[in-house]
Amino acid sequence: MYQIDFNIPSHIYFCGIGGISMSGLAEILLERGFTVSGSDMKASPLTEHLSRAGARIYIGQKAENITPGIDCVVFTSAIHKDNPEYVETLRLGLPMLSRAELLGQLMRNYSCPIAISGTHGKTTTTSMISEILMAADADPTVSVGGMLNSIGGNIRIGKGGCFVAEACEYTNSFLSMYPKIALILNIEEDHLDFFKDLEDIRHSFRLFARKVPADGLLIINGDIARYEQLTEGLPCQVRTFGTADTNDYYPLEISSLGERGMAARIMTPEGEAVISLHIPGRHNIYNAMAALAAADHLAIDREISLNALKDFEGSRRRFEYKGSFHGVTVIDDYAHHPTEITSTLTAAADCPHNRLWCVFQPHTYSRTKALMDDFAHALAKADVVVLSDIYPARETDTLGVSSADLQKKIAALGTECYYLPDFESIEKFLAKKCIHQDMLITMGAGDIVKVGEALLQA
């Protein structure tokens, strides 16, 4: 594998530079004096920001963008082998790295890299840990898979020894990381276009846990079935959080404050503590316990940690309040897995509303097909569901599945459900049907957020 010398700035090209993670890595390298260039299929606020910071951005991916003066080309897992830039990189014999390999190499430049993994909750927990470290004046470097208002984006470049980053299991990218502190928030079936089954996923998380050195810490959800199989024989310290009192961190009492957030009295190895959050959802109490466990290991003053959690306002696209139209509250959420959908709709149930509308954009054909029944039962928790076409992301094969299939299953469960393929039709339908005091949640990992934003601007 090609090794970047971070003490000798070179020219790094990013194929897919507009992605949330790629753009963050590009910005870190710019800050370190590297020459950065890259391409994406369309311009975005992220590419425009990088251009202003000194990167050369190409719109459109073409072979002529790859020149002999480039020292290394970085690709994401979404780039196919027939991509013209990938083909040209091979033809020229230029060194190449995956996004995860670059992130792993970058981590080694910090004394305390922190990697947050799990099927759900990575962005929120990464953001919580980052807020705590900033409140403690640890001056961390942060790479988060969402937009965090307190850092003005998805990246923060600090001077301290902590590097906080999300660790995604897709294509086993998190196995390229070198964390001193690793978190495993949960493990469920997902990314079944890559993994064979749940046991295959568990095997990868076991390998990730083994990346933690003897002087490091693994924080793991004790509610994960047979979690001991993942931690057995590890040389590092292990701390658990979860629902049962057998965990190191567990709740004694959890209370919903409605739209004002959540509160919980919890037990920790250092005694009782009270967590207050300004974001809704029981699941976020568990995210906060995991973040607190990391902070405790770093010997951060407990009062600083709890105040930082209390002040945390959430990440964009995580139960994000967008505004209201004609008395209809509009929320946007990134949930794209049945468990995430259930958590978001459960949190919404604690907030004042008349009818709860969920406008869902399924994400990838493979996930929709594999988890069809689970999606139906999760979405049926809303009063009314509106489905758009499936967002294909990296996929081209429809696998013979469509949102119409999901609509039939939801309707069969007794929930009012509509399938309207395009956003314009959805917007017109919602403008006519939603009434005063309804809550409307646009939901999915694609671009469904545009529907709510259009309604607010109408």
* Residues with active-site annotation: 122-123, 166
CA pair distance 76, 19, nearest whole angstrom: 9
CA pair distance 36, 34, nearest whole angstrom: 6
In the chain, DSSP finds a helix count (H) and a strand count (E) of: 15, 21
Query: Which amino acid belongs to residue 164?
Result: V
3-state secondary structure 219-285: EEECCCCCCHHHHCCCCCEEEEECCCCCCCEEEEEEEECHHHCEEEEEEECCEEEEEEECCCCHHHH
**Number of Cβ atoms within 10 Å of the Cβ of 450:** 15
Question: What is the token pair recorded at 311?
Answer: 């002040």
- In b/e form, how buried is each residue of 339-375, taking b as 16+ CB within 10 angstroms? bbbbbbbbbbebbebebbbbbbbbbbbbbbbbbeebb
Full DSSP string of 337-404:
SHHHHHHHHHHHHTS--SSEEEEE--B-HHHHHHTHHHHHHHHTTSSEEEE---B-TT----TT--HH
Which residue, among 306, 256, 260, has the nearest Cα to 281 in the 3D structure?
256
Which residue, among 312, 357, 355, 315, has the nearest Cα to 334 in the 3D structure?
315
For residue 331, the cross-strand partners are: 321, 441
Which residue, among 47, 34, 37, has the nearest Cα to 106 in the 3D structure?
34
Question: What is the token pair recorded at 235?
Answer: 């040389």
DSSP 3-state of 14? strand
For residue 38, the cross-strand partners are: 14, 57
